[in-house]
Structure 1
């Protein structure tokens, strides 16, 4: 394909031993990755040396499954709390962005605002908050509930949660803290703004006790693709991580989100859409397929069935024949868009339960690409140039080898085509992503007043 005049964004999605459900069993994998800080240091530094925009950590506030036979055969039960880990990684990196998932369902806005503001100060403006709503019953049961919130209520609460957090991030103007020893004045009281929020779900006075972010505000990321998720993302998100199986799905989502953002009065380019991509890279197609087959052979059937049950919205497949068809499913109160994606995939390709769990064993519903550097670059370029993506969240099959393969084999091909940077253009996450630094509302008000006076 021809050399591009635009460049896309890349995130390195770090998940313990890797994104394939059997990654921990790979001979080269770091089996204790979930509790091995040095492992994460090496991955983050590799991604930074390769000029990735950010590393990203997913999270849940509970063990991901109550199915002990399956859980005992996967490396998903022990992992660091993400903000603690990213704060430590901030000290051993200099430029790469640091994005973490924190749920609005079982946290308070003030705590979330304070933690990300602190990470932004520690890292020099490199933090991002992946705003999600929790959907697992196990998470709810860790926070005084038998079931999690109903889907629509989760998103209603999340919208207000977002507004409170971003309001708290604007507690102080950029130049509030004068710290003038001679006069004895530590900050300019006229530039302090008390939020005073009283809403349906939260009552938060403020102000935040952390000064304004070096990049204005931490970057807000979202991952919902349901109707409620799309609308919240179009109104509030600056980056969207999403799962698609086909280019047509990606193109429809991309166009819809950009149109919704415009309807909210936002510049569509201020929302960066970055689908997850699970790449298995070989110097030849045969080598790539052999690498993938090696991982697939490590999937225990108990693990596969349990994985599918969780990803598809909590339906229990354990009593059904694995080589039989996918049954009709009731509507889930979990991730609705992911259930629809997988049901459509199974119906479209006539997949059995076993076929389907093997299809998601690596990518969990995201696009899976098994091929050479050129063929993988071809697909990424098509999605990017034909209206399906602004960049990609790279889901390495196993660590460290899968990330090494992408860096050593695919990135040179992307750079040859002019699709990805050779050096960082700035120092903050916003600068990497091409996002404007938000001006404080008080500054915007002052500009508007001045313009009215001039008129």
Structure 2
């Protein structure tokens, strides 16, 4: 089969540009109105996107006075979107730091049943200080602690999703037997962070378990992705670094004993797009005029764990010394590395850096006509930098509409994108197999003896 690119739509606020909510082309609906998400999801499905994605934040940002977010809780929102769509995949973020494994396993298995097998889980290890305060913690966990906890978490939730065999449910009305008890397995996990008996109180879902999605690009995050992820969202500011990331992660996947074709790498792409080059440039100017650099300064501070950038003048060229060492940052370390790398290469002023980050928070931002956007996507795809893209429209739904109407047909004519859905599940869209049951009775016995910890 000819290799074709995958497209995920990242629904964020009224668009990924920080000023999108102020632009007249953005949706007039409140961000708490499910009709907004339903409308955008249906557009993406009509455009044959593989999936949509909803991120999450477990606290209120310091920029809340000037920057609205997507306020609805993403997992429950997916359940509503499952009933409004029929083919497109549905991915949501849920935290391994602040969610009990049993609860998460139930929620995602439920949505996989509700949607007929279309759910994906974006695995995050939450670092926000405000989140810790909301969940009774003394303070945020360190980068190493979060990933240590996540490793155990993955063992537990996978065991829960595998705790029912595919043929456990008989539903035999004549005999009076609903399920085979020998088709259920105890989990009996006793670890440093979790004590979970199991089994899950729900039969195995259509996909077996959700598609695993991950977005960490630090060294620890890449190793975690190589072990578990089936799709990876990554922020890259140029093709060269995207290609290096792609090559390195595929190498790590092989080292973990997995096939590189079973891990899709989808860099973020935020195209400021118009039907013509002039139209696109006009939209870019309009968004820049609506931006507030002080809002951007607050967001930059948040990216670096609260570091104070207030002393930096807006129009003086930056150097890496103006930033904390990314290795010392306990927040989203991979994004800090991307930002410092850009500063080292291009030496922008703070105003220029904030303007770039206003577009998509460190993802690749470009401006141009449909032909230019299609050319760029083809170049990255064919040159080993991407298996597809995590599309981040600057303004929703306006720039999504232009992308579907004008870029998608160009990709289809070039043989780079599907002309119809290939199946009914997210695994079918991504070309991923349904996982076999790996949680055997012998594994249950080993877990009960504590050998897994």
**Shorter-chain TM-score: what band?**
over 0.9
Figure out how many residues of one structure are paired with residues of the other and give that number.
437
User: Which string of whole-angstrom CA distances, capped at 9 and with x for unpartnered residues, describes residues 75-117 of structure 1?
Assistant: 12x6100011110011111111000000111111111111000
Distance 1:304 1:266 in 2: 40
Where does residue 130 of structure 2 map in the other structure? 138
Check conservation: 1:224, 1:230, Cα contact below 8 A.
yes
Moved more, 311-320 or 334-343: 311-320
Check conservation: 1:281, 1:409, Cα contact below 8 A.
no
Moved more, 296-305 or 99-108: 296-305
TM-score relative to the length of structure 1 = 0.93
Where does residue 300 of structure 1 map in the other structure? 292
Counterpart of 2:324 (choices 321, 329, 333) is 329
Instruction: Kindly state the Cα deviation for residue 319 of structure 1 after the two structures are TM-superposed.
Output: 3.6
Check if 1:195 corresponds to 2:190. no
Instruction: Kindly state the Cα deviation for residue 324 of structure 1 after the two structures are TM-superposed.
Output: 2.8
Where does residue 448 of structure 2 map in the other structure? none
Check if 1:37 corresponds to 2:30. no
Where does residue 306 of structure 2 map in the other structure? 314
User: Which string of whole-angstrom CA distances, capped at 9 and with x for unpartnered residues, describes residues 380-435 of structure 1?
Assistant: 11111111111111001011101111111111111111111111010000000000
Where does residue 49 of structure 2 map in the other structure? 52
SS in 2 for 1:186: strand
Distance 2:186 2:220 in 1: 30
Distance 1:341 1:20 in 2: 18
Check if 1:369 corresponds to 2:366. yes
User: Which string of whole-angstrom CA distances, capped at 9 and with x for unpartnered residues, describes residues 141-190 of structure 1?
Assistant: 11112421000110111111112111110010111100111111111112
Where does residue 452 of structure 1 map in the other structure? none
- Where does the alignment leave 5 or more consecutive residues of structure 1 unmatched? 446-455
Distance 2:317 2:368 in 1: 29
User: Which string of whole-angstrom CA distances, capped at 9 and with x for unpartnered residues, describes residues 260-310 of structure 1?
Assistant: 111111111111111110011122222211111111110112212112222
Distance 1:381 1:80 in 2: 34
Instruction: Kindly state the Cα deviation for residue 33 of structure 1 after the two structures are TM-superposed.
Output: 3.7
Check conservation: 2:159, 2:439, Cα contact below 8 A.
no
SS in 2 for 1:130: strand
Where does residue 97 of structure 2 map in the other structure? 105
Compared CA separation, residues 336 and 443, structure 1 to 2 (3 A):
closer
Counterpart of 1:11 (choices 8, 16, 26) is 8
Instruction: Kindly state the Cα deviation for residue 18 of structure 1 after the two structures are TM-superposed.
Output: 0.7
Compared CA separation, residues 33 and 396, structure 1 to 2 (3 A):
farther
User: Which string of whole-angstrom CA distances, capped at 9 and with x for unpartnered residues, describes residues 4-48 of structure 1?
Assistant: 942111001001211000100001212544211111111011101
Where does residue 448 of structure 1 map in the other structure? none
- Where does the alignment leave 5 or more consecutive residues of structure 2 unmatched? 443-453
Counterpart of 1:162 (choices 154, 159, 175) is 154
Where does residue 227 of structure 2 map in the other structure? 235
What RMSD over aligned residues (CA atoms) do the two structures have, in Å? Answer: 1.6
Distance 1:312 1:30 in 2: 31
Where does residue 71 of structure 1 map in the other structure? 64
| Deviant stretches of 4+, over 4 Å | 442-445
Counterpart of 1:257 (choices 249, 255, 260) is 249
Distance 1:437 1:50 in 2: 25
Distance 1:390 1:26 in 2: 32
Where does residue 450 of structure 1 map in the other structure? none
Where does residue 381 of structure 2 map in the other structure? 384
Counterpart of 1:246 (choices 210, 220, 238) is 238
